Amino acid sequence: MDMKLEVVVIPVADVDRSLGFYKALGWRLDADFATGDGLRVVQLTPPGSACSVIFGDEVSSAAPGSAEGLHLVVTDIEAARAELSGNGVDVSEVFHDAGGVFHHAGTKQRVPGPDPERRSYSSFVSFSDPDGNGWTVQEITERLPGR
């Protein structure tokens, strides 16, 4: 049976501020529903993604800004950084990890610049939304076998 990741819930403090932030990234607004009992659900989808994010009022009991390790995948990390920066996002410089396998949590073992061999899966930038939810953008130019 196929199982596909459809939605990731991210905890935010100010729904309208978050809506503005993600729309400014060019993400498609799929839904913005409110009920009379205080529930508000906002769903947006990054361009080209099959998975969306949801946030809102009474959607998550997690502390706003507590999500980390959210990943976006691009084919050109430098172009992605330029686009994010151009959209007003405080985005890191391009980096790779000293270990070369995957990035460590936080900023541990970050080496400035893209992977010197430009290997797929090995170059990154990072940014946070207005609440501090942490996003990593990873360059993938060629998928591993079976992917």
Output the pLDDT for position 128. Answer: 97
d(CA 28, CA 14): 19
Region 61-79 average pLDDT? 96
Of 33, 4, 27, 28, residue with least CA distance to 129 = 27
d(CA 61, CA 21): 21
Residue 62 has pLDDT above 70, yes or no: yes
Token pair for 41: 């659900």
Residues shown for the chain:
147
Q: Are 36 and 101 in contact (CB under 8 A)?
A: no
Residue 147 has pLDDT above 70, yes or no: no
Token pair for 62: 């997690």
The 10s digit of each residue's pLDDT in 7-56 is 999 999 999 999 999 999 999 999 999 998 999 999 999 999 999 999 99
The 10s digit of each residue's pLDDT in 104-138 is 777 788 899 999 998 898 999 999 999 999 999 99
